[in-house]
Amino acid sequence: MRLRARVRNIAAVLAPLAALLVLGLSAEAPAPEPAPAVLAEIPAAEPAAARPPPAPVYRLYPAVDAAVMATSAVTIAVPEIFADEIIRFRCPCDPSEVNGFDRGAIGNHSALAGTVSDVTLVASIAVPPVLDLLDVGMGEAFLTDLAVYAQVMLVNGALAQIAKYTVQRPIPRTYAGDPAFLHSPSGYGSFFSGHTSTVFAALTTTAMTARLRHGERWWPWAVAVVVGSSVAVERVAAGRHFPSDVLAGAAVGTTAGVVIPWLHVRTADTVTLVPVRRGLGIAVRF
């Protein structure tokens, strides 16, 4: 029973990314509507030049990218399977051991805030690829965007898992003695906030892609900050994280959403990951 529960948790973590890849591989560009017939007595107009497909803004490195994504997926999945063996259920805990900056979150228990943060998380993952598809259509540009986006999501998720299962910080509701969390692995994953880091990672990646393709625009970055901050507030209000947890999550997600796309930028002078004999290296081209 516990193994099946762990498998369901893994599916819940990875299903949005699988859906993105299915979308990218199965979507088809809409067929153009046929042009109206021209009357015989009216001279035919010169046919308009076909619009070239958008150029990719990212360069993929299949061997490196596949290794990074596979390693990240395993890092996400394995702790979920063995969560009961990894987590040390050490509470009831003394709230006085929590620092003054975070202590005020103990006692928060808003079910509405938790639900809104869950819905926002799913929307933040699913909507950007759809908007990207509408922007560039099905083709190489979209598929490379999708690959980079999926890599950001997986790396961010792996970093969150490593932190949660290493630190094993009780969440505010565990400190408050909530029986639903005292002996549950979910009650000991406060640091750092995976919801917050994922939303910031998804929307920051989207802002980076928009910047590379269309030039600098302020509003995608504003959306990332506003939506990400709202999720951070909601996770604290729901009693699932302390303020320091969501701040760390915002920093990690933003970093992943900027650095990973930057490493894949298709330009003449860029910094990229390359395979070397004993791992990965960073190559700078001028």
Q: Is residue 179 part of a domain?
A: yes
- Structural domain contains residue 146: yes
- Name which of 171, 150, 191, 9 is nearest 89 in CA terms: 171
Mean pLDDT computed over 75-81: 96
Could you give the number of structural domains in the chain?
A: 1
CATH classification of the domain holding 146: 1.20.144
Residue 169 lies in a domain: yes
**Average model confidence (pLDDT) across the chain:** 86
Q: Of 23 and 16, which is predicted with more confidence? A: 16
Residue 11 in any domain: the answer is no
Mean pLDDT of the region 109-130: 97
Which residue is associated with the tokens 């490493």?
Answer: 263
Domain span at 251? 58-87+105-284
- How much is the average pLDDT of 141-161? 98
- The verdict on residue 51 lying in a domain is no
Question: What's the sign of the alpha-carbon dihedral 199, 202, 207, 210?
Answer: negative
Q: What is the pTM of this model?
A: 0.80
pLDDT in tens, 32-56: 444 444 444 555 555 555 677 889 9
Q: Which residue spans within the chain are E strands per DSSP? A: 271-276, 279-284
- Is residue 38 in some structural domain? no
Could you tell me what percent of the chain has a pLDDT over 90? 73
Number of Cα atoms under 13 Å in the Cβ half of residue 156: 37
Q: Tell me whether residue 155 is in a domain.
A: yes
Tell me the pLDDT tens digit for each residue of 220-239: 999 999 999 999 999 999 99
What is the percentage of the chain residues whose pLDDT exceeds 70?
76
- Helix, strand, coil percentages (3-state) for the chain, rounded to 5, are 65, 5, 30
